[in-house]
Amino acid sequence: MKWRKFIKLIAGTAIALPLASYAQEPQSALPKRIGYLTRLGCPIAPEHPVPRRLAELGWVEGRTSVLDCVSSADPLDQLPTLARELVSRRPDVLIAGGTNFVSALKRETTTIPIVMVGGWEPVRLGFITSLARPGWNVTGVAWLGLLPKQMELLKEIVPNLRSVAFITGVMVGAYTPSEAFKIRTEHFIISANTLGLTWQIFTAAVATDYDEIFARLAAEHFDAAYIASNEFNDNNQTRICQLALRHQIPAVSETAAWARDGLLLSYSQDLPWTQARGMEYVDKILRGAKPSELPVEQATKFELAINLNTANTLRLTVPPSLIARADEVIE
């Protein structure tokens, strides 16, 4: 009897030991390395949507994961080098903060998974084969083309809107897909034509070009302007906002930062939501999912910001219904 108990005890211990060892294994494993290529600056604060959502999903900085952040804000021509350096560190997964960054990383690796958090038309730009079946090493959250809605919002505020200017900056860096500019331009032309507007495209190559562009818009009595969101325009954001106000040009762009800086309004994808949602893709990939089999999601949360101070300066009345729909009103 005692012998049987002894045998059972030994057998139970033999079974329990591997189980105990397996439970401790994740703690002793090396942290997963997550590479993040962005233009928003590094290091990233813990409350930022990226590290916050990763922590919520169990990826604790320094324990189960390491976030390797690389920023390419200005000049953008550093992007190819930074992408190459980040890929050379062999992260387990990469995060790309927009179209240019997806393009730069994809040129450097076809094997390391890339999660995009933003960017337009990933199929047309060749990043994926389809939204449902990405097919390669890129997946994540893509943005919708919001130009038609942005133009409609502008028309709600500007009475008798007849003419609109499309203002963009030069394409910067070899890793900026020319197709991306072509897509944005097409969307603008279709939107303007649909609303029965006359339009013209203006491109700034140096910062002082914006002075000449806005002076011309005022002299030729343009009713409004659309400011394309690209790196050159973004790097001259304050200058553009000041010129639009000085020359009395109502203008719309993307991201609330433009409205906060003095532009009349902005309508955009919700970036924090997009970033947090993208981390769910990172989580799945780190747990074994293949990017080629994770359907790309299109952003469904948007943000409308209106600058009432600018509206008053331009002697424009913002409809109360539009104010009620706004996520942010600057007064």
Residue 76: the pLDDT is: 61
Residue type, 287: R
Residue 29: the pLDDT is: 76
Pick from 38-52, 119-133, 137-151, 170-184: least confident: 170-184
Q: What is the pTM of this model?
A: 0.83
pLDDT higher than threshold 70 for residue 271 = yes
pLDDT higher than threshold 60 for residue 176 = no
Closest by Cα among 227, 249, 167, 163 to 203: 167
Predicted confidence band of residue 208 (pLDDT cuts 50, 70, 90): very high
Select the more confidently predicted residue: 7 or 188: 188
Distance from C-alpha of 117 to C-alpha of 103, rounded to nearest angstrom: 13
Residue 89: the pLDDT is: 95
The pair of structure tokens assigned to 47 is 């409350």
Backbone torsions φ then ψ of 34, nearest 5 degrees:
-115, 115
Predicted confidence band of residue 88 (pLDDT cuts 50, 70, 90): very high
Select the more confidently predicted residue: 178 or 100: 100
Predicted confidence band of residue 42 (pLDDT cuts 50, 70, 90): confident
How far is residue 51 from each of residues 20, 91, 183, 278, measured CA to CA in Å?
30, 16, 32, 11
Q: What is the mean pLDDT of the chain?
A: 87
Kindly report the CATH number that applies to the domain delimited by 147-269+303-330: 3.40.50.2300
Residue 246 contacts residue 214 (beta carbons within 8 Å): yes
Residue 284 contacts residue 54 (beta carbons within 8 Å): no
Omega before 75 within 30 of 0, i.e. cis: yes
The stretch 44-57 carries a mean pLDDT of: 94
pLDDT higher than threshold 60 for residue 278 = yes
Q: Any idea which architecture 10-143+271-300 has in CATH?
A: 3-Layer(aba) Sandwich (3.40)
Residue 23: the pLDDT is: 34
Predicted confidence band of residue 221 (pLDDT cuts 50, 70, 90): very high
Residues of the chain with CATH 3.40.50.2300: 10-143+271-300, 147-269+303-330
